[in-house]
Structure 1
Amino acid sequence: MPKKLITELIRSYETIIIHRHVRPDPDALGSQGALKQIIQHSFPEKNVYAVGQDDPAYTFLLEMDKIPDDIFQGALIIICDTANTGRIDDERYQLGEKMIKIDHHPNVDSYGDVEWVDTHASSTSELIYEWYREATEYGFQMTKEAARLLYAGIVGDTGRFLFPSTTEKTFAYVRELVRYDFDRESLYEEMYRVKENVARLKGHILQTFTLTDSGASFIKLTKDDLDKFGITALETGQIVGTLGEIDGIVAWAIFVEEEDNIRVRLRSKGPVINKIAAKYNGGGHPLASGATIKHWDEAESVKKDIEAACRDYLNNK
């Protein structure tokens, strides 16, 4: 069983380095940070690191460790919440001795010496807690900080328990996590606080979005738009759900111009979109994905694919 193998490998290595995907969300950071906390608290003699690029919007959850290349030599590498190797943050994962993959996305890219992929789980944070419950037999211990991080990851990836991925198991695990003494009110405030400039950008989106007959909606944000509202491309993750409550919208894409490419944020209420994302250097969940294109001409191709998916979905309902 993967969970037992994961436990055995963690116990056998002195240096453990934990990665997650680029452009992290609460689940990526929650699973990564909680795993680090659990291992470090349970076995203080081990060297445990969480690596990747810091996201200023999420430093209230976790800040990354800065380590030199030589630390990777002979280390156990654990990759959380990352479907394919192209999205692993910090390419030095390749310098490690052994690798574990823990994920709940569709297994597009099989990698690692041990893989635990469960697409029925609400989040990778849920999987980390599931692993922990069995690992207690081998001396692993929870902390309130690890519980906070796992709770944040589950809340983030279930849309505050509203998404269909939320199961009876999800609620059972959350019930156990909230027994630990962390400040849920403060956590929610940090996760869902909206700055004035982000709120104004949401207003702009609500005024300018387009809607096709098939139920597809699109938003284009150029660098000039971002400058106008004083927002970075990274921060646009806070506005991706803005169109979700509008009646008639079935799936939508937000195109965000960056320095060297165009980020595509995809969301859906039914049509499967992760296969579309995979065509454009991306991936993700069936209803929530991301992709990257190089030129605005490619955006038209993405739009056509989304419209086709929406039509198929509506015709087969």
Structure 2
Amino acid sequence: MKQQIIECIEKYQTIIIHRHVRPDEDAYGSQMGLAALIQSNYPEKTVYTPGTHDPALTYLGEPVHVEDEAYNGALVIVTDTANQERIDDQRYTMGAELIKIDHHPNDDAYGDITWVDTSASSCSELIYELYEYGEEHCAWGLPAQAARYLFAGIVGDTGRFKFPSATEKTFKTASKLVKHDFDRSTLFDGMYELSKELLQLQGYIYQNFHMNENGAAYIKLPKELLEEYGVTALETSALVSSLGNVKGIRAWAIFVEEPDQIRVRLRSKGLVINTIAKQFRGGGHPFASGATIYDWSEADDLIAQLDEVCAQ
């Protein structure tokens, strides 16, 4: 599979790399890390990284604007995106060939070439694996900027190596990446520093979340509350792991009201909760998923299912 991907990369002059909407560190890390890797080893090629920018990720980088004409005869690669509806910028179908590289369950096997490995901690880990193959067979090098992107993606998707997805292979990959010349302290500052407004909202979450005897917990953040704290719905993604620090919690849901829907972020400590997400227009990893609902009564239904999973 890696050989096929490299042969495809070598065949095309223009390569456009997409990732998922509402990006996180692994979305940016795998997309921009792969772009930096290709550009460094094939400087004659044109590589684009489109998508809607999340200002919270500016410390990592920013996407670029791509004209429609660039897709003519181009190779399109989509990283870290399980389902086609979650691909940021639906022009991904306009290229000559499509590659999917991902570590989520392969429920939507799109693409002419599909490389999915659910045992990987992150898509960034897979990109590093692709680099190692390229290093051995094509004399690829890894620029420091690509190493920085991939390290950020791995750290972000493993919760600083706390999640079960961080395997021995993950730690070995991280140990190789940190040998490259990038400033980890500055990178960590960008990843984990929070604004005063977000910290105050985090305090509200700790004071007002609900948890029952089974370890099922939740917090509802209506849009009026977000306005009161001066925080956008997108910015709340930085707080999704906050309740994981609470003793006794087994699984939790954070409900964030947006103008036209309610975004649900689901997390657990070892319980499979993506089955719940799939019932509410979502999906994701077994222990980290997302869903979408359209009224607060649905939230109560989801909470009931979360409690049932914890009770079992």
1:85 equivalent to 2:84? Answer yes
CA distance in 1, matches of 2:295, 2:229: 23
What residue number does 2:124 align with?
Answer: 125
* TM superposition shift of 1:213: 2.4
Distance 1:201 1:140 in 2: 45
Q: Which structure 2 residues correspond to residues 66-215 of structure 1 after superposition, within 5 A?
A: 66-136=65-135, 137-215=137-215
Counterpart of 1:45 in 2: which secondary structure?
coil
The Cα shift of 1:139 comes to 4.0
| Cα distance in 1 between the residues matched to 2:249 and 2:173 | 33
Amino acid at match of 1:142: L
Report sequence identity in percent.
Answer: 55
Deviation of 1:86 (Å): 1.2
Amino acid at match of 1:292: T
Q: Residues 119-147 of structure 1: CA distance to partner in whole angstroms, max 9, x if unpaired?
A: 11111100000010111222432110000
Amino acid at match of 2:241: G
Q: Distance in 2 between matches of 1:167 and 1:248?
A: 25
Question: Which whole-Å CA distance do the structure 2 matches of 1:242 and 1:40 have between them?
Answer: 37
Counterpart for residue 10 of structure 2: 11
**Structure 2 length-normalised TM:** 0.98
Task: Report how many residues are paired.
Answer: 311
Deviations 1:11-49 (A, max 9, x none): 001111101111111011101001000111111111100
Return structure 1 stretches of 4+ with deviation > 4 angstroms: none
Give the secondary structure class of the aligned counterpart of 1:205. Answer: helix
**2 CA distance for matches of 1:86 and 1:181?**
37
Q: Secondary structure at the match of 1:79?
A: strand
The aligned amino acid for 1:79 is V
Gaps of 5+ in 1: 313-317
Q: Which residue of 1 aligns with 2:264?
A: 264
Provide, for residues 241-288 of structure 1, a one-character-per-residue CA deviation record: whole Å limited to 9, x for no partner: 111011121111011000111100111012211121122221111111
SS class of match (1:141): coil
Residues 69-121 of structure 1: per-residue CA shift (max 9 Å, x gap): 12112211111011111111111101111111111111111111111111111
- Distance between the aligned counterparts of 1:115 and 1:94, measured in 2? 15
Instruction: Name the structure 2 match of 1:222.
Output: 222
